[in-house]
Chains A and B, each alone.
Chain A
Amino acid sequence: MIAVLRGFTDRVFGRGSAAITVPPFDGALKPNQMLEGAEIVAELAQPNDLASHGGNLYIANGVEVLRHVGDAMQVVARFDREVTALCALPDGRLAVALDGREIRVFSAANGPADNDVAIGGANMTAVNALTAAPSGNLLATDGSASYPTSQWTHDLMSHGRSGRVLSIDVVSKQVEVLASGLRYAFGIATSGDGAIVSESWRHRLLMVGTKGAGRSPLDNLPVYPSRLCPAAGGGFWLTAFTGRTQLVEFVLRENGYRRRMMQEIDPEFWVAPRLNSGNSFREPMQGAHLKTMGVVKPWAPPRSYGLVIRLNSDCVPRYSLHSRVDGRNHGVVAAVEAADSLYVLAKGAGRLLRLPLTAIEAEFGA
């Protein structure tokens, strides 16, 4: 009874569970311009994911999988649907998710063939990240059962909670659901016997094992986390495709306003996080302080943002690389190490970025 009353009073006074607050970018998340100053390796039309194997860097770009060789891009594979996730297997093969609904495994050297492994069904709708498990299975995150990957803002604004973690046996083509009811699962990396999963709408990482979802090693993030990849020397690189704002948190609690906005407004102009911004004067100016005298303030509330976080093996943030509100390299959805560099995919700007690991180490004394 007291809990019910407390819930009611919290909603009236906007406190407790109804408090509209956002954690600060401080400590290891202190903003810098490392990502904004990164070398631009390539400008791509529809980049989605990155993978690396044996020093090779692979990029999922629209319906193609590309290999980065020297300064050029080679087409490794072309499909009839968009590649929404990509990973390299230990044996050198590549696994892709097509339109978020089907998994294909093919040879990176020879390209796709008719006898490639193809796994569909299991209600896969928005598979957005893949990784190889030590057991030989593929682990995948399926962001939503209601919306495809391209409509992730719809899932957020609908309070979607249909994300899943899948374990896929590429030999028997069996799909096992390891965890469900997640609020947009987007990114997975193996850790010990289990996996670490990004749950974007809950702004946290989650441990997932064979018995389902477990504890959260990192939560209350000021961003929407996306893909994870292992880092040399232990730990992970965690990308975040945008930052949280009090305005979006507020809209998410205002059900009437949110429903009308979804019905009547072009999704491009919703009060919602974006992968890039500043494209139209009709965009909502969050906090009404985005520009002063024609200059975008770097510390303004982010409609879009670029961020890569370096985590240690316990998922404690060590440092982070930023492209702030006044930058362009926003909507970061993937980062992988290849050779002596960290490659970062800024989907919002359509850019593949490169940062030498030695430069990062020098900057942060890592």
Chain B
Amino acid sequence: MTDNVVELRKATKLYAGVPAIKDVDLQLRRGEIHALVGENGAGKSTLTKALSGVVTLTSGQLFINGAEVSPRTPLEARQLGVAMVFQENSLVPTMTVAQNLFLGQEKFYNRLRGIYIAAQQFLQSLNFDVPPTATVGLLGAAKKQMVEIARAVLHQAKVIIFDEPTASLTPEEKAYFFDLVRDLKKRGVSIIFISHALEEALLLADRITVLRDGKHVVTDDAANFDRARIIQAMVGRDLSNTLYGKRKTTVRPSGERILSVQNLKMAPMVKNNSLSVFAGQITGVFGLVGAGRTETFKIVAGVLKRDFFYGGEVLLKGKPVRYRVPAPAVQDGVAYVTEDRKVEGFFETMSIARNVYLGLLSKFPGGRFLLSKREADQTGDDWISRLKVRAISPKAKVVELSGGNQQKVVIAKSLAQEPDLIIFDEPTRGVDVGAIVEIHELINKLADDGKAVVVISSYLPEILALSDRILVSRQGKVVEEFSALDATEEKIMYAAIH
């Protein structure tokens, strides 16, 4: 019997004749943690989708436990012992956590109470603090991710594929997750682990495979890799210093006070929160999941409606504003680039140009009676070239783009509105290294051009690399402010936790 639980030989998958992966070989050993890294568009997701039965290979062979198979659905793959935890979660939002966990495993007669008790015990065994009776749609991104992971573990899969599992987890939750993965490994489960956080791959994996442009580049023991070698293999150029390597030696001086949030309340997430944002600066906002950062800025941008009995004030250029929907905020020059691009960022079956044009149209109060296809195409072409969106054609649907390019479309949609205040919420979550550099350059340019820029991020190196001033949020309000010159990871994390 072979030691490889999964083996791919010359795997190729074509979309409309364009290869997403080409002649890829991969071996996954029994009880191994195998990290799969590469830029967005490198083919990681396609590869794992082929393994988990979401797509079928155009050519090539897939062996599971030595037998050649060709799973055509996720159910078939699960029956073969392969489960996948998706990057963008695949839970049913209107069902409870327990119902999602046991979805597809229902017995003829289900006692709801029995399901809840079983789910509670199971979640506790994983150290996951998620109420089984909670409706999934009301959970935050981190908790949804936990439910996804729990579901894969519950299905007793022999191969579990994690696609960006830690992107929305707090440091404590990450530590739990790593322990869980190591525990699964001890039980003989093989893990494929996709992550853009290269340190995590280096820390957790036994072996690392690097893909680039749909092709296999290298597979080696994790001990033989370091960060620079992985990045070199991923992008074919040395980006390690341009990304997070340099510390700031100067910061931009603050300009006009564009935004002032005063004693803002919105139970249970925002508690008497006060902060200011200035023109010509990047204001980084760091906090653990649940610190109220996203909610505060969603209220500012009208994405989240503040109930009438909650107090506090939002002043935009000194004028009190209270947006109930985003449109008036857009008209006043506020743009919010969402952390959840798939749900809130774009219409995935529409073209890049149409999506960007929609952003532009929201600048017009009441909409526009006549729409111009030529204007839409020109706007799309303009932003595709300005943000270097890589697409097969300008008319490509957004769903066909990689994560990094999708994020660029979301950003283009907001920038087309010519805002004065741009709020980036987790701008590089699920985005490859090359796109991160480009997005960071764009954010810096916006601040250099005098815009007030807010970057909300859970990734400390990103906050330190981008921000001129750093606000730390804890339990619903800003508790500390640092200049980028004084800040260290330790200081920021201490303020975020204590």
- Chain B binding surface, main DSSP class: strand
Interface positions of A (Cβ within 8 A of B): 13-16, 19-24, 26-28, 30, 219-220, 246, 316, 318
Query: B263 contacts A246, CB within 8 Å?
Result: yes
Chain A min CB distance to B498 (Å): 14
Q: Complex formed: what's the CA distance from A28 to B280 in Å?
A: 14
Could you list 19 A-B pairs, sorted by A, with CB under 8 Å?
A13-B308, A15-B308, A15-B313, A19-B262, A19-B311, A19-B320, A20-B311, A23-B260, A23-B274, A24-B260, A24-B262, A24-B275, A24-B478, A27-B276, A28-B254, A30-B481, A246-B263, A316-B254, A316-B255
Decide if A19 touches B276 in the complex (CB within 8 Å).
no
Which residue of the partner chain A has the closest CB to B262? A21
Beyond A220-B260, A220-B318, list 5 extra A-B contacts (CB 8 Å).
A19-B312, A22-B263, A23-B274, A26-B274, A318-B253
Residues of A within 8 A of B322 (CB): 15-16
Does B54 belong to the interface (CB within 8 Å)? no
- Any chain A CB within 8 A of the CB of B256? yes
Bound: A19/B306 CA distance, A: 14
Measured between alpha carbons, how far is A246 from B308 in the docked complex, in Å?
20
Tell me the B residues contacting A by CB distance below 8 Å.
Answer: 253-257, 260-263, 274-276, 278, 308-309, 311-313, 315, 318, 320, 322, 469, 471, 478, 481
The answer on a CB contact under 8 Å between A21 and B254 is: no
Q: Which residues of A contact B278 (CB under 8 A)?
A: 27
| In contact, B262 and A23 (Cβ under 8 angstroms) | yes
Q: A177 to nearest B CB, angstroms?
A: 28
Question: Do residues A220 and B311 form an inter-chain contact, with CB atoms below 8 A?
Answer: no
CB distance from B323 to the nearest CB of A (A): 13
Given contacts A21-B313, A23-B262, contact A316 B256 (CB under 8 A): yes
**Residue of A15, A24, A318 with most partner-chain B CB within 10 A:** A24
- Is B263 in contact with A26, judged by CB distance below 8 angstroms? no
CB pair A219–B276 under 8 Å, yes or no, is no
* Chain A hits for B315, CB < 8 A: 220
Interface centre among B261, B263, B278, B322 (most CB of A within 10 A): B263
Within the complex, the shortest CB–CB distance from B438 to chain A, in Å, comes to 29
- Once the chains are docked, how many angstroms separate the CA of A315 from the CA of B315? 19
**Nearest CB in chain B: distance from A79 CB, A:** 42
> From A21, which residue of chain B is reached at the shortest CB distance?
B262
Q: How far is the CA of A13 from the CA of B309 in the complex (A)?
A: 6
Bound complex: CA of A246 vs CA of B320, how far in Å?
A: 17
What's the least CB distance linking A269 to chain B, in Å? 26
Residues of B within 8 A of A28 (CB): 254
Whether B255 and A24, one on each chain, are in contact in the complex, defined by CB atoms closer than 8 angstroms, is no
Given contacts A13-B309, A21-B313, A316-B255, contact A27 B469 (CB under 8 A): yes
With A24-B276, A24-B478, A30-B481 given, is the CB distance from A19 to B313 under 8 Å? yes
